[in-house]
Amino acid sequence: MRKLFLILILLLGFTGCTANYTINVFDGTIEESLTILEEDQSLLYEKDDMDMSFKDYALEYGNKKDLYTNYYNMYTNGEVDCQSTLDNDCSVYESEYIDNNSIGFKLFSSFSFDEYENSTIANELMPGFTSSFDGRYLTISGSSNWNPFKGYKNLERITININSNYYPVSSNARYKGNGEYEWIITNENNTLDSLYIIFDTTATKRLANKNSWLLAIIFAVILSLSILITLITFFIKRKNNNKI
């Protein structure tokens, strides 16, 4: 299984490829997702040294059913049934093949605050990754020198997003507002010694509905139409009264 997962790192070497790693931290649960996309359609069928194209990898991982979420499982033989232990559960990532304006795939799962330290994706891709929870503070950190950049110069960027309604005690992420924190890592901009964020899980803040702007626009349009209809009706009645 570990050897198989390393293919995921290899495919990041394709030109134009981007990786988006997102975790949502709410109510004692961390939802994790990794999305790999290739936007350049002309590069989808170029073969690598393993005679695999990006689309081949996307199809493989987008339909994968046996990639364990727990990092310890990556060292087991894929032909042997998983044996559940205190340090080794048998949960697997859900997968999704993406075929729209871009081609790629998505892997996603969820963890408790205590379990996230064993995330396969975070441990495999981020050197020095650590996650700890002491009952109040959730601390997540790791190196900005992500492994896929080592020897894979064609990877354009990795975007890391954390969404949460918990108050951050400390962080070096860029705050985008409404509980969203972001790091963007490229080969040219890879200067941070580490990435870190510490949440106080006893303190939450109200977040705006991300669709609230759309609702506001719809309301404004409806209000404008109502006013327009009222004015038109008023002038029509006034015109008819003048005729009498």
What digits encode the pLDDT tens for the residues 39-97? Answer: 777 778 787 777 888 888 889 889 988 888 988 777 666 556 777 777 777 899 999 99
Q: Which two tokens stand for residue 62?
A: 């987008």
* C-alpha torsion sign, points 149, 125, 66, 16: negative
Query: What confidence score (pLDDT) does residue 78 get?
Result: 56
Query: What confidence score (pLDDT) does residue 132 get?
Result: 96
Query: What confidence score (pLDDT) does residue 240 get?
Result: 66
Using an 8 Å Cβ cutoff, are 3 and 19 in contact? no
Reference 2, options 120, 115, 105; nearest CA is 120
Name every residue whose Cβ is closer than 8 Å to that of residue 38 and which is 6 or more positions away in sequence. Answer: 14, 16, 17, 44, 54, 58, 102, 103, 104
Domain boundaries, the chain: 2-204, 209-244
Query: What confidence score (pLDDT) does residue 185 get?
Result: 79
Q: What pTM does this model have?
A: 0.77
Q: Among 151-155, 159-163, 235-239, name the one with the lowest average pLDDT.
A: 151-155
| Helix, strand, coil % in the chain, rounded to nearest 5 | 30, 35, 35
Rounded distance, CA 66 to CA 74, Å? 11
Tell me what the pLDDT averaged over the chain comes to: 80
Mean pLDDT of 127-149: 83
Mean pLDDT of 228-240: 72
Mean pLDDT of 30-38: 92
Query: What confidence score (pLDDT) does residue 155 get?
Result: 63
**Radius of gyration of the chain measured on its C-alpha atoms:** 24
Through-space distance between the first and last CA atoms of the chain, rounded to whole angstroms: 88
Q: Which two tokens stand for residue 16?
A: 């134009």
138 strand-pairing partners: 133, 199
- The sheet carrying 94-99 orders its strands as 94-99, 103-112, 29-38, 17-26, 157-164, 180-185, 174-177
Does 183 score more than 50 pLDDT?
Answer: yes
Query: What confidence score (pLDDT) does residue 26 get?
Result: 96
Q: Alpha carbon 59 to chain centroid distance?
A: 19
